[in-house]
Structure 1
Amino acid sequence: MHYEGKIYRPWMEAESVLIQTTLGCSNNQCTFCTMFDDKRFKVREIDDIFKDIAEVRATYPKVESIFLIDGNVMAMRTEKLLAILDRIKMTFPELKHLALYSGFNDFRRKSISELKELRSAGLTTAYSGLESGDPIVLERIKKGMTREHAIQGMEMAREANIQVLASFIFGLGGRERSKEHAENTTSLLNIMHPDAIAPMALAIQPGSQLEREVANGEFVLPTPLQILHEEKYLLENMDDFPCFYWGDHGNNIATMRGVWPEARQPFLENINKHINHNPMAKKNVIETYAW
């Protein structure tokens, strides 16, 4: 298998085979992220990808889950991505799950018919970084996406029957916009109704623009109590649409995972327990670890 540079995958994909199809991220300017600073975005040569697919087949007698890396794989030309998916489908008839990273804008840049073709070719799931529903936060982090873009991208993915996991970051509004960040992110989720969500606590990545903003005082880190209250607001105000709640990232103060909305009450009991009794809630600055 050929891998270039740092490799990332969602923690839910720990059991998946990773096949590198793109290098880096086509946006690669978000202030909080350094995941792909070591490479420029490009699509790998298809023959090299096919070699890796063949090597996976030769290595594993049974492959039921594959995750395509790097960043927003959906950004590649549809014809090439279809060729890759078709080769995977042909090579692994036992496959049950095929996922990749996709920005919500990447859905928007394709037609519904293209997205449906990708779904028919075997694509089941896309992991999409929402980060925040607050317009000011989205602009500050240089996401290159608006609330309206996220809504449109989600609608297009749903019409194509591609499952979407939306990830977002508690604390990304800093100490100043904690309330607005929580409220606007929750309201956006209530419009979008993603199939799964993955909330994560903010972690300052070494070398990121956000790290420099913290150092010069432009961004004031939230308190752990603010992080907990952001999640409590979400749990109290998110609508009863069906989704899976992946709230067990390693940086989260209150780790929770389960089926929504059935999990609302036990999750609220858990978050209140942390607010009232977790010693971390009394600290002045959140303490998390780089990815």
Structure 2
Amino acid sequence: MIKNLSEVWIGDMYRPPSEAYSLILQVTVGCSHNKCTFCDMYKSKKFSIKPIEQIKREIEYFRKEVKYADRIFLADGDAMIIPTEKLLEILAYIKEIFPECKRISSYATHKSIQLKTDEELKKIRESGISLLYIGLESGDDKVLEKINKGVTAAEHAALCRKAKKAGFLLSVTFIVGVLGKKDWTDHAIKTGELISEIEPDFVGLLTLRVKEGTELHNEYLRGEFQKADGIEILKETEKIIENINVKAPVVFRTNHASNYLSLGGTFPQDKERLLSEIKSVLERGTIIERRYREL
């Protein structure tokens, strides 16, 4: 018998901004990859998949605690890595216990999509998961190798197409400032090009934060990495947007707590407006920066 939330959630919980009002059901602990040099989210956790009976007890616990849940987010870092038959059993039980649930979503990694066949992905989609969040981070292979992502941009594109073919909505994220003060031009251009190739349903840009306990933080302490400043971040964002050329609607956001400037729109129609907003802020920022140096 589960008595309180501390018996359900293991460690800190993370979810995308758009899942702020979702019920978070932790079906895995940690991240199946957990090797990215910049990420500290799951460093304290050893990856595991919770036993099916434990997951069912937790679903029952939330049913007693929550009157209504039309959205459920499956945590931790990669619920899609769960073997298909077990995942389908979890989804069936969610539907049974939470019949009002209209949307189930999850983080996914390149590994979890790669391991599943087209037919398995289709079954998972039909059984309830409709939205996948994937951290692509960059469209530049050199950056992906540097941050130890374990996948190339071309492989990411292929796996995203595979997920879209199965019927999933895709929300992908990229990191601005991932190279710090080093030349980010290729990263920005190729990121815009990868977005254009995939045409995901949603795109979010996050700004890099150097977290203690990560390999990147050690690089920072050794003086091997210098953080980009606000103006550099905005210029990098501008370059990414300049290189996004899509025909299908793509919802774009920079509304994460890490971002310097909150932007929102839908490509292709809002591209010029977004660039205009950045240009306006950059112009004001340059003036402020110049006046500050003159003091």
TM-score category (smaller protein): over 0.9
CA contact (8 A) 1:178 1:222 kept: no
Q: In the alignment, which of 20, 25, 28 is matched to residue 22 of structure 1?
A: 28
The more displaced of 115-124 and 52-61 is 52-61
Q: In the alignment, which of 135, 155, 158 is matched to residue 152 of structure 1?
A: 158
Q: In the alignment, which of 227, 251, 255 is matched to residue 244 of structure 1?
A: 251
- The answer as to 2:46 corresponding to 1:40 is yes
CA contact (8 A) 1:224 1:280 kept: no
Whole-Å separation in 2 of the counterparts to 1:147 and 1:17: 32
Q: In the alignment, which of 84, 90, 94 is matched to residue 90 of structure 2?
A: 84
> Counterpart of 2:198?
192
Give the 3 Å change call, closer, same or farther, for CA 13–280 of structure 1 in structure 2: farther
What's the TM-score once normalised by structure 1's chain length?
0.93
CA contact (8 A) 1:131 1:169 kept: yes
Whole-Å separation in 2 of the counterparts to 1:145 and 1:281: 41
What's the TM-score once normalised by structure 2's chain length?
0.92
Is the partner of 1:249 in helix, strand or coil? coil
What amino acid is the match of 1:207?
Answer: G
Tell me the alpha carbon deviations over residues 48-103 of structure 1, each in whole angstroms, 9 at most, x when there is no partner.
11111112222222210000100111111111111111111222222111101101
- The answer as to 2:102 corresponding to 1:96 is yes
**Unaligned 5+ residue runs, structure 1?**
284-291
What amino acid is the match of 1:264?
Answer: K
> Counterpart of 1:112?
118
Q: In the alignment, which of 226, 232, 235 is matched to residue 226 of structure 1?
A: 232
> Counterpart of 2:216?
210
Tell me the alpha carbon deviations over residues 14-37 of structure 1, each in whole angstroms, 9 at most, x when there is no partner.
000000000001111100001011
Is the partner of 1:212 in helix, strand or coil? helix
> Counterpart of 1:182?
188
> Counterpart of 1:253?
260
Offset of residue 177 of structure 1: 3.0
CA contact (8 A) 2:252 2:265 kept: yes
Give the 3 Å change call, closer, same or farther, for CA 132–281 of structure 1 in structure 2: farther
Tell me the alpha carbon deviations over residues 88-142 of structure 1, each in whole angstroms, 9 at most, x when there is no partner.
1222222111101101332111100000000010001011010111111100100
What amino acid is the match of 2:169?
Answer: Q
Offset of residue 237 of structure 1: 2.1
**Unaligned 5+ residue runs, structure 2?**
291-295
> Counterpart of 1:235?
241
Offset of residue 219 of structure 1: 2.0
What amino acid is the match of 2:110?
Answer: F
Offset of residue 265 of structure 1: 2.6
Q: In the alignment, which of 256, 265, 270 is matched to residue 272 of structure 2?
A: 265
Whichever of the two has the greater Rg, that structure is: 2
Is the partner of 1:30 in helix, strand or coil? coil
Offset of residue 248 of structure 1: 0.9
Give the 3 Å change call, closer, same or farther, for CA 281–141 of structure 1 in structure 2: farther
Tell me the alpha carbon deviations over residues 169-213 of structure 1, each in whole angstroms, 9 at most, x when there is no partner.
001122223111101111111111111111011111111110111
Offset of residue 39 of structure 1: 1.0
RMSD: 1.6
How many aligned positions are there? Answer: 283
Q: In the alignment, which of 164, 168, 173 is matched to residue 167 of structure 1?
A: 173
The more displaced of 69-78 and 170-179 is 170-179
What amino acid is the match of 2:260?
Answer: I
What amino acid is the match of 1:243?
Answer: V
CA contact (8 A) 1:200 1:251 kept: yes
